[in-house]
Amino acid sequence: MDDQKKYLINETKQVDIRYISFMGELRRYDLAIMKNPSNLSEYVIIDLDGSRYTKVRPEQLHDGDFFCHAFNVNEYQAEELYSYIKDFLV
């Protein structure tokens, strides 16, 4: 058996990461936000407490259902989440 691994991509990139934490009405959020190094029009948002992440494009920012599904939160929490992170996604 061939022990050589064949990667499609194997590279290292420098990325700026913004960490933000805030206390919402119902829970605390600890997030890491970065531009996707492979597609600079996308952001990667990681919920460090909830072990969830998503890639978001500018046209998805105003879609409340997107945040509900991506972070497993209700509509109120999704709106609250968006209100805190929208200034960093420009």
Query: Is 11 inside a domain boundary?
Result: no
Please indicate, yes or no, whether the overall pTM of this predicted structure exceeds 0.85: no
Query: Is 66 inside a domain boundary?
Result: yes
pLDDT tens per residue across span 6-62: 999 888 988 999 999 999 998 999 999 999 888 888 999 999 988 899 999 888 877
- Strand pairing partners for 21? 30
Of 63 and 18, the structure prediction assigns the larger pLDDT to 18
How far is residue 18's CA from residue 31's CA, in Å, rounded to a whole number? 8
- Helix (H) or strand (E) run with residue 85 in it: helix 75-85
Task: With CA atoms as reference, report the closest residue to 85 among 35, 51, 37, 45.
Answer: 45
Q: What is the residue range of 35's domain?
A: 17-88
How far is residue 89's CA from residue 18's CA, in Å, rounded to a whole number? 11
Query: Is 70 inside a domain boundary?
Result: yes
pLDDT at 85 over 80: yes
- State residue 58's pLDDT score: 82
As for how many domains the chain has, the answer is: 1
Query: Is 10 inside a domain boundary?
Result: no
Query: Is 1 inside a domain boundary?
Result: no
Query: Is 5 inside a domain boundary?
Result: no
